[in-house]
Chains A and B, each alone.
Chain A
């Protein structure tokens, strides 16, 4: 149980284009989903917290107009990187917390984004 999927697993896009990443909780309802970014050999940095049915809360320094987050249902959150640039290339990981959970987050497998 508690499986989180991400799609796509890898994506290559050209500068200036937008790319959408999906995060799904497959066997539980997630009232809260989190989006992280990870550079090579670095730790996970929280980008934003996504609550179902409300606007996402972004961490300091993360541009909300560049990283659009939508959490339209209890099993799906999407992250759209708009007008992508090479410096947006990174490993993006989502996590989801069960409705009744007091803290544990279940992580997706990550999405490798490369912007050329």
Chain B
């Protein structure tokens, strides 16, 4: 399934299916992007990152795609598992000396058995 993360939407997928979580970022000057996973009551956990000079990066069961033309970022999770249930945030780093992160609104991923 797919989602567009604007108002903390919920994406429900069946266990074993692939998940696609989308994010629209705001700043065309952003040079570094990160996906975080946050479980209830915990801090964000790093999943995968990508720099602006790339359009795709793969990790273990996860792939991040970056489309700078339309300022869009997506996270693909293969063979989604119950342990993947969490809120997923994209974050953009606008670069420069501050290296501050701006977080997207997040997407709640629910994995159904």
Give A contacts to B, CB under 8 Å. Answer: 4, 6, 32, 34, 41-46, 49, 57, 93, 95, 97, 102-110, 112
Contact = CB atoms under 8 A, between A and B. Distances in A.
A94 B27 CA distance: 23
Contacts of B36: 107
Interface of B: 8, 32, 34, 36, 41-46, 49, 89, 93, 98-106
Contacts of A32: 99
Given A103-B93, A104-B34, A46 B8 contact: no
A46 B101 CA distance: 8
Contacts of A46: 100-102
Contacts of A110: 41-43
B46 to A, nearest CB: 7
B101 A109 contact: no
A96 to B, nearest CB: 11
Which has the most chain B C-beta neighbours within 10 Å: A41, A43, A46, A109? A43
Contacts of B34: 103-104
Which has the most chain A C-beta neighbours within 10 Å: B34, B44, B98, B102? B44
9 contacts: A43-B103, A43-B104, A46-B100, A95-B43, A104-B49, A106-B46, A107-B44, A109-B43, A110-B42
A79 B98 CA distance: 19
Nearest to A43: B103
A111 to B, nearest CB: 10
Given A34-B101, A44-B89, A104-B46, 8 more contacts: A43-B104, A44-B44, A103-B34, A104-B49, A107-B44, A109-B42, A110-B41, A112-B41
Contacts of A42: 8, 105-106
B22 to A, nearest CB: 15
B21 to A, nearest CB: 14
A16 B102 CA distance: 31
In the A-B complex, the 4 residue pairs with the closest CB atoms: A107-B43, A103-B32, A43-B103, A44-B103
B36 to A, nearest CB: 8
